[in-house]
A and B are shown apart, each in its own frame.
Chain A
């Protein structure tokens, strides 16, 4: 019976092809919009998550000032000293590696090639903290670090721009007014969390950078790698306490530095994603509601228009349930067609749009299935009332209907 009813429903839909299409348009648009957005959103989230994880896990970044900038107005908070770095390394439990950093933009020159890049002055702890491997050469040893010798390790981008295909280890190039020997090459890391090129860097001993580039003994930021067995948040708060003490910040005053947890970015991002998903869900609910009302509308018109047909069916012996089923199935088939068409459009749209907005295309069968089931449910919910009306018609009146 159900099979026959579905065949009849499809026949009826085919008979009014344009009207049927317009009826389901609401559902088509709702489903395709939601599925496309979720598919692209998933791709974007996956891409960003990957970039964030490239920042390194369990890493704390300590900078003077509040927030990302050094804060507008007011006196600039002082930088850290090497003593702060040593204090953290010695006094805080759960710290795997502590690397001080100073950064300055410079121009690196070798023969005719010159390349504008960033010199990152730090210690060998930096490589451990960032879990950054070398592809060639070595990192600086304790003696070079202590003396601030003119040695450096270059990122992949710097290597290609200054040395093209030559082996750079043992070669020298100029940074500003001093010459520097390449002792190692970093493995390529690609794009960072903020769209920056992580490989465009020259890593040098911090003493060298302080002396030749900064002209002071300050430490601009501190990277702390937390031991996996310790809670990052606990380590963070003990560092905060220590630094407040060392920087003489009394009770009520705000920190004049910030400790940034890379996990926070991914948490924030996840929160944003959840809000977006909820918003998308709301849009989907509204558009599907509108689509459902469209279906109900047309089904009611259809019931009125086909009153005589219903009368005939009742006269030749259809029971109320069969008439109800017929109209309900018609509504559900319509809604399902809308869902399928919407999914199809979403698929095409995602495949076309993904490369344009530079997001990987990730097919999510769950959202597609959900969209389809939802469409069917809309058909049942909004088809029931018209079907009920059709089934409750009096055959005599229905037959007389003009």
Chain B
């Protein structure tokens, strides 16, 4: 039995603005992501990769076309329904870490659980476990200002995985880090992908980081230009239906 893809985009377009000032960021993107995949999204700025990530992260909706996630047509959901979808299935890691300032690592990691209405002890336990997974259990009571960039990003990853999401969306997670820290973060993400089976979608500029991924997608001018799987161009192996 062939499973349908976890994520599927069909003919997705996105237009910003109206009239003569309108700008079409996506011009009909078709894309499938299998459960458990590790996808690197590449492309020059303005190629539509960020817009695609926003749509995949259920933060934005396509102007036209279909986006199904777990078989649900996300383009038909309203704002709050998409928020609930994010709460349940998605985790986010940003380039700028985006931790709450003057808030301990533990409280930062607990944040998503707060919106799930979990008890204090359950939150505590799950957050400590997530911090342990990223190797920062002993740093739980440090605020972002007291952590290095690499550590902050690991706290952010702990926050993203504390709810055990299906998909982790990472927007240039190594963009603000030196090479050594970047490789540590990539190894952590690879580990999470392999051991916990989390599907990872990652935007990156660096070929070196993209090399960690199983699938690499290149965007250009609002379209998917290249879809490479395991080092092979997409389509040179039997396409999953």
Residues of A participating in the B interface, judged by any CB pair closer than 8 Å: 1, 4, 8, 15, 308-309, 311-322, 395-396, 399
User: When chains A and B are docked, how far (Å) is the Cα of A316 from the Cα of B109?
Assistant: 11
Q: Contacts A4-B114, A396-B59 hold; do A317 and B159 have CB atoms under 8 A apart?
A: no
Give 29 CB contacts A-B under 8 Å: A1-B117, A4-B114, A308-B98, A311-B98, A312-B98, A313-B111, A313-B115, A314-B59, A315-B59, A315-B86, A315-B92, A316-B86, A316-B87, A316-B91, A316-B92, A316-B112, A316-B115, A316-B159, A317-B86, A317-B88, A317-B90, A317-B112, A318-B87, A319-B79, A319-B84, A320-B79, A321-B80, A399-B94, A399-B98
Chain B interface size, as a band, is 20 to 34
Q: Which 6 A-B pairs have the closest CB atoms?
A: A317-B87, A317-B86, A319-B80, A316-B112, A319-B83, A315-B92
**B residues in contact with A316, CB < 8 Å:** 86-87, 91-92, 111-112, 115, 159
**A-B contact number at CB 8 A:** 54
**A residues in contact with B112, CB < 8 Å:** 316-317
Question: Could you say which of A4, A8, A318 contacts B83, with CB atoms under 8 Å apart?
Answer: A318
**A residues in contact with B83, CB < 8 Å:** 314, 317-320
> Which of B88, B91, B111 has most chain A Cβ within 10 Å?
B111
Contact: B80 with A312, CB < 8 Å? no
Determine if B57 is an interface residue (Cβ-Cβ < 8 Å): yes
Determine if B102 is an interface residue (Cβ-Cβ < 8 Å): yes
- Which chain B residues numbered 65 to 108 have a C-beta less than 8 Å away from chain A? 79-80, 83-88, 90-92, 94, 98, 100, 102
**B residues in contact with A311, CB < 8 Å:** 98
Which residue on chain B has the smallest CB distance to residue A16? B102
Which residue on chain A has the smallest CB distance to residue B86? A317
Contact: B115 with A317, CB < 8 Å? yes
Which residue on chain B has the smallest CB distance to residue A395? B59
Q: Contacts A4-B114, A396-B60 hold; do A317 and B84 have CB atoms under 8 A apart?
A: yes
Which residue on chain A has the smallest CB distance to residue B102? A15
Determine if B54 is an interface residue (Cβ-Cβ < 8 Å): yes
User: When chains A and B are docked, how far (Å) is the Cα of A8 from the Cα of B84?
Assistant: 21
Nearest Cβ on chain A to B88's Cβ, whole angstroms: 7
**A residues in contact with B159, CB < 8 Å:** 316
Contact: B98 with A318, CB < 8 Å? no
Which residue on chain B has the smallest CB distance to residue A317? B87
Which residue on chain B has the smallest CB distance to residue A314? B83
Which residue on chain A has the smallest CB distance to residue B169? A315
Which residue on chain B has the smallest CB distance to residue A4? B114
Nearest Cβ on chain A to B59's Cβ, whole angstroms: 5
User: When chains A and B are docked, how far (Å) is the Cα of A91 from the Cα of B31?
Assistant: 111
User: When chains A and B are docked, how far (Å) is the Cα of A15 from the Cα of B94?
Assistant: 25
User: When chains A and B are docked, how far (Å) is the Cα of A321 from the Cα of B79?
Assistant: 11
